[in-house]
Chains A and B, each alone.
Chain A
């Protein structure tokens, strides 16, 4: 049975990513950069209306325009219903992008405009037009455990509050899209910006009636997905069809507005929470009514999240709006559940007059067992202790005691959890060539996490080579089946078969060259680029491989037990200043303590945690999809009024890898999602601590902060 090396040379150290220089020098070719001979430029025509019937589509004006090579209707006249602004109507391919845009605008579409509901408020309002066949809302029955109402009576302190988080969008920097290139009448190569080369290949097979063997999807590098890029999507299939019609390759990527409107989003959340605790700081009951919108999709989130409340009830209502559908976005559901629960916990701690840190630790389950016999509660306790030290929690003061001037300082914290386990059906091929080159192959892809690099780290570790000597070929759908990049599952799915493949290849190499060395295979070993026989250097790696003659070694690895695990904790602390005269929040410092089993590359691992924190900072301070009730349009489908942190918005960030021997023996666990979960929650709590007032709506914008202060003043 394979196992991770006990004292690794490379694993767990900081290794720059294999494709880093190609990316940093502009030489890496992204799917949106690929320019095959004869490339045409595709443009997608979107609906300007949020709710409508398509009555007629006339493509003719576009077809006759200069440079236009193919035009395709994507909606059906008399049949198609428009559910959100941006929905696909038609697509055009032309010699230049400017001409393709002209042509798309020339397409005549007749709409019957229908009433819309653009926001949760509008959708759930009494007398709102029913725009969805199943109704605008769908209320689930309350899920009740114990007797929450009875238990609440016994509480010494109760808070009742409503917290809200807006819809945010993924804002992938490389928009969704692909470049389609037919290699023959029944064979296509697609350069896709995707988190799943296999998913896109499957979509091509199903939608174009092709044989799997004739579809190749390539994603050498790609510009961000965050959960929104698993499929070919309507526009990707359209690109393939346009390319077929024109007989030339077609590049089709969404524009920025379309990316916001139809590239996916994280659902909103609203939670009316009644939370009660006894004087001793133990939670006794929770009653929560929650809602949210994912467009036409779901919006549920976990509650009471990491805390233990025996008597509780929770009712969630789905609200449907004429907005683009939600897609998975970095830890689906968790950032929302974390923010609202952690806010309620903090408000209740304040009411009880208890330090919120102690209050949290007192309300974890005694035994929160995750894979490998790990009690996550023990983990949390140690992580919180480390985080508290790093942020300087001893400086924490109760609300309202954080400065005399206009600038108030505050501290906040929040806990999170995630699974992060892998799939057990993925494969990696390892090829050792007679020239000494080593290649890994799998149909997974690197969405920026460092997946390519960690596979090479494993191979280099086993073969005694340097990471740069390994060719880590992924992002090709024709390779052995690999994992989609989602849910923090890539590393735990791919690292075990990689280890297996490389060990098998090494053993096969030993078997084949041992006789020529008058040795037994078990006498051979590899170290520092050398082949050792019974511990003595006998040949360089290249010389050893040359003994293979003409035949390379190939081995396919599969998942093995004990190499990967699931179930992580983590906590984050935020220190903020709030200017109560402007409502401006500045985050000064964030501490993130994170476990994730065995860390393969500390450099790319830390980058992911930093990135998660910054994503959470954006959620906490800036991001919001703003919909207009009057027109049903998104008002900020850009990167200017849709606000994202720039360099001067980035605080000091301290990442503490909870990288203990106990964690390492668990094997690998993914880390993409967990570190983004609790940041917005911690920031919200730090703001409340600073100004003495809960800002119930994210983001912590000057508007929301000043409104909360004014409301508190009005009440006082």
Chain B
């Protein structure tokens, strides 16, 4: 880890000042991602701004506009929140499946959303796109954990935030403050597909600060399913979250969002179309699952993820419907 200067502001205003630099700056919250990246020299900032002393960033509150979750809210507190547990089981489930008890005590909502990809070529110092001598190491190499959508492009990593998936399914909005003021964007707009190795996958500009995410009021049936190798600490291979506005017994407007398949949280428009106006039955779920894999172009090793997309989409929908057919009797 390279030496850096350190500040620990206690107000968002001071945090913004500190984030302005000079030099390269990294914001530090739980530390479970950034500290590791710094130890591996994947990040070597001149300055680290510790945000956990900014108490105003933490907390969950129900406001007229919806449920506000501070970016500094720890995952342990999010998982214990009774409203989330009752009304937003998809978010609750995704949260309790992140990391370990210790990680959930440390990690924050903002840190989860803005962590950097786990792609092992990136983590081994080959840049976000994982290239060497201009060639993709990912495409030729071990891509078992990489993307199956948008793979005609150069960004083959997957977005690492499993909370982004239910949050996008729930149409959550992110509030970002920066030197230029405050702006509110859909959570999905926090991410972009980088076009070159100079790009980033996050849209936040240096000096900007994610302060909260807001889940709009209104009833949304939601569900989540994640497939992973280990039951203990592990990353999902693929996960799906759904947020469904119902018209009586049929789906009015529904969102189907996937983890583990693209460099951004992946909204499956085909699956969303397949469920519109349909009742939440196994047939609907199967149809959505089949639609969800349309256009998938797996890499050399990750064809198995196609099956996982089908399964997770189907199960997330049926989870929302309360039909957990896969649970052992």
A48 to chain B, nearest CB (A): 9
- B228 near A584 with CB under 8 A, answer yes
Does B303 lie at the interface of the complex (its beta carbon under 8 Å from any beta carbon of A)? yes
- B234 near A643 with CB under 8 A, answer yes
Please, what's the 1-or-0 string for B226-246, where 1 marks a CB less than 8 Å from any CB in chain A?
011111111101000000000
- A635 near B304 with CB under 8 A, answer no
**How far is B327's CA from A579's CA once the two chains are assembled, in angstroms?**
10
Does B301 lie at the interface of the complex (its beta carbon under 8 Å from any beta carbon of A)? yes
A692 to chain B, nearest CB (A): 17
- A629 near B304 with CB under 8 A, answer no
- B307 near A583 with CB under 8 A, answer yes
Residue A646 contacts which of B232, B302, B307 (CB distance < 8 angstroms)? B232
**How far is B145's CA from A628's CA once the two chains are assembled, in angstroms?**
14
- A579 near B232 with CB under 8 A, answer no
Does A363 lie at the interface of the complex (its beta carbon under 8 Å from any beta carbon of B)? no
Does B87 lie at the interface of the complex (its beta carbon under 8 Å from any beta carbon of A)? no
Residue B227 contacts which of A647, A702, A707 (CB distance < 8 angstroms)? A702
Residue A645 contacts which of B118, B232, B314 (CB distance < 8 angstroms)? B232
**How far is B307's CA from A582's CA once the two chains are assembled, in angstroms?**
7
Could you say which residues of chain B place their CB within 8 Å of the CB of A582?
A: 227, 307-308, 311
- B307 near A101 with CB under 8 A, answer no
Does B11 lie at the interface of the complex (its beta carbon under 8 Å from any beta carbon of A)? no
Could you say which residues of chain B place their CB within 8 Å of the CB of A254?
A: none
- A635 near B142 with CB under 8 A, answer yes
Could you say which residues of chain A place their CB within 8 Å of the CB of B145?
A: 641
Interface residues in A596-642 by Cβ distance below 8 A to B read 621-622, 626, 628-631, 633, 635-636, 640-641
Could you say which residues of chain B place their CB within 8 Å of the CB of A645?
A: 230, 232
**How far is B230's CA from A640's CA once the two chains are assembled, in angstroms?**
11
**How far is B230's CA from A648's CA once the two chains are assembled, in angstroms?**
8
- B326 near A405 with CB under 8 A, answer yes
* CB closest residue in chain B, given A255: B39
A255 to chain B, nearest CB (A): 9
Does A33 lie at the interface of the complex (its beta carbon under 8 Å from any beta carbon of B)? no
Does A519 lie at the interface of the complex (its beta carbon under 8 Å from any beta carbon of B)? no
Interface size on A, residues (CB 8 A): 38
- A630 near B132 with CB under 8 A, answer yes
Please, what's the 1-or-0 string for A674-714, where 1 marks a CB less than 8 Å from any CB in chain B?
00000000000000000000000000011100110010000
- A643 near B140 with CB under 8 A, answer no
**How far is B302's CA from A105's CA once the two chains are assembled, in angstroms?**
36
- A702 near B230 with CB under 8 A, answer no
Residue B142 contacts which of A98, A584, A626 (CB distance < 8 angstroms)? A626
B151 to chain A, nearest CB (A): 17
Could you say which residues of chain B place their CB within 8 Å of the CB of A586?
A: 231
Could you say which residues of chain B place their CB within 8 Å of the CB of A643?
A: 229-230, 234
* CB closest residue in chain A, given B139: A630
**How far is B328's CA from A581's CA once the two chains are assembled, in angstroms?**
14
Q: Known interface pairs A579-B326, A622-B230, A640-B233. Does A628 touch B304 (Cβ–Cβ under 8 Å)?
A: no
- Residue among A98, A626, A630, A631 with the highest chain B CB neighbour number at 10 A: A630
Does A219 lie at the interface of the complex (its beta carbon under 8 Å from any beta carbon of B)? no
**How far is B237's CA from A586's CA once the two chains are assembled, in angstroms?**
16
**How far is B210's CA from A94's CA once the two chains are assembled, in angstroms?**
40
- Residue among A621, A629, A636, A703 with the highest chain B CB neighbour number at 10 A: A703
**How far is B40's CA from A633's CA once the two chains are assembled, in angstroms?**
14
A648 to chain B, nearest CB (A): 4
B324 to chain A, nearest CB (A): 11
A636 to chain B, nearest CB (A): 7
**How far is B230's CA from A646's CA once the two chains are assembled, in angstroms?**
8
* CB closest residue in chain B, given A701: B229
- Residue among A626, A649, A702 with the highest chain B CB neighbour number at 10 A: A702
* CB closest residue in chain B, given A647: B232
Could you say which residues of chain B place their CB within 8 Å of the CB of A98?
A: 1, 3
Does A174 lie at the interface of the complex (its beta carbon under 8 Å from any beta carbon of B)? no
Could you say which residues of chain B place their CB within 8 Å of the CB of A584?
A: 227-229
Does B204 lie at the interface of the complex (its beta carbon under 8 Å from any beta carbon of A)? no
**How far is B314's CA from A649's CA once the two chains are assembled, in angstroms?**
25
Please, what's the 1-or-0 string for A420-454, where 1 marks a CB less than 8 Å from any CB in chain B?
00000000000000000000000000000000000
- A628 near B141 with CB under 8 A, answer yes
- A631 near B234 with CB under 8 A, answer no
Does A8 lie at the interface of the complex (its beta carbon under 8 Å from any beta carbon of B)? no
Interface size on B, residues (CB 8 A): 40
Could you say which residues of chain A place their CB within 8 Å of the CB of B328?
A: 407, 577
* CB closest residue in chain A, given B314: A581
- B231 near A631 with CB under 8 A, answer no
Interface residues in B122-140 by Cβ distance below 8 A to A read 124, 126, 132, 137, 140
* CB closest residue in chain A, given B304: A706
Does A102 lie at the interface of the complex (its beta carbon under 8 Å from any beta carbon of B)? yes
* CB closest residue in chain B, given A586: B231
Could you say which residues of chain A place their CB within 8 Å of the CB of B3?
A: 98, 102
B26 to chain A, nearest CB (A): 17
Does A406 lie at the interface of the complex (its beta carbon under 8 Å from any beta carbon of B)? yes
* CB closest residue in chain B, given A699: B229
Interface residues in B281-329 by Cβ distance below 8 A to A read 301-304, 307-308, 310-311, 314-315, 325-326, 328
- B230 near A636 with CB under 8 A, answer no
**How far is B236's CA from A702's CA once the two chains are assembled, in angstroms?**
11
**How far is B41's CA from A419's CA once the two chains are assembled, in angstroms?**
47
A650 to chain B, nearest CB (A): 9
**How far is B328's CA from A583's CA once the two chains are assembled, in angstroms?**
15
Q: Known interface pairs A581-B307, A628-B142, A710-B307. Does A406 touch B229 (Cβ–Cβ under 8 Å)?
A: no
* CB closest residue in chain B, given A48: B125
- B237 near A628 with CB under 8 A, answer no
Could you say which residues of chain B place their CB within 8 Å of the CB of A649?
A: 230-232
- B142 near A406 with CB under 8 A, answer no
- A646 near B308 with CB under 8 A, answer no
**How far is B234's CA from A643's CA once the two chains are assembled, in angstroms?**
8
Could you say which residues of chain A place their CB within 8 Å of the CB of B2?
A: 102
* CB closest residue in chain A, given B124: A633
**How far is B237's CA from A238's CA once the two chains are assembled, in angstroms?**
42
B31 to chain A, nearest CB (A): 15
* CB closest residue in chain B, given A643: B230
Could you say which residues of chain A place their CB within 8 Å of the CB of B301?
A: 703
Interface residues in A88-131 by Cβ distance below 8 A to B read 98, 101-102, 105
- B326 near A702 with CB under 8 A, answer no
A676 to chain B, nearest CB (A): 19
**How far is B145's CA from A631's CA once the two chains are assembled, in angstroms?**
18
Could you say which residues of chain B place their CB within 8 Å of the CB of A707?
A: 303-304
Interface residues in A372-425 by Cβ distance below 8 A to B read 405-407
**How far is B231's CA from A586's CA once the two chains are assembled, in angstroms?**
8
A625 to chain B, nearest CB (A): 11
B187 to chain A, nearest CB (A): 25
**How far is B121's CA from A631's CA once the two chains are assembled, in angstroms?**
10
* CB closest residue in chain A, given B234: A643
Does B200 lie at the interface of the complex (its beta carbon under 8 Å from any beta carbon of A)? no
Residue B237 contacts which of A407, A577, A702 (CB distance < 8 angstroms)? A702
**How far is B120's CA from A636's CA once the two chains are assembled, in angstroms?**
7
Could you say which residues of chain A place their CB within 8 Å of the CB of B189?
A: none
Does B273 lie at the interface of the complex (its beta carbon under 8 Å from any beta carbon of A)? no
**How far is B3's CA from A629's CA once the two chains are assembled, in angstroms?**
33
- Residue among B230, B231, B301 with the highest chain A CB neighbour number at 10 A: B230
Does B278 lie at the interface of the complex (its beta carbon under 8 Å from any beta carbon of A)? no
**How far is B301's CA from A253's CA once the two chains are assembled, in angstroms?**
36
- A581 near B232 with CB under 8 A, answer no
Interface residues in B98-157 by Cβ distance below 8 A to A read 100, 118, 120-121, 124, 126, 132, 137, 140-142, 144-145
Q: A621-B229, A629-B142 are in contact. List 12 more A-B contacts (CB 8 A).
A: A405-B326, A581-B310, A581-B315, A584-B229, A586-B231, A628-B120, A633-B124, A636-B120, A641-B145, A646-B100, A702-B227, A703-B301
Q: Which 3 pairs across A and B sit closest by C-beta, in order of nearness?
A: A646-B232, A706-B304, A581-B311
22 CB-based A-B contacts, threshold 8 Å: A105-B41, A405-B325, A577-B328, A579-B326, A581-B307, A581-B310, A581-B315, A583-B227, A583-B304, A584-B229, A622-B229, A622-B230, A630-B141, A631-B132, A631-B137, A635-B121, A640-B233, A645-B230, A648-B231, A702-B227, A702-B304, A706-B304
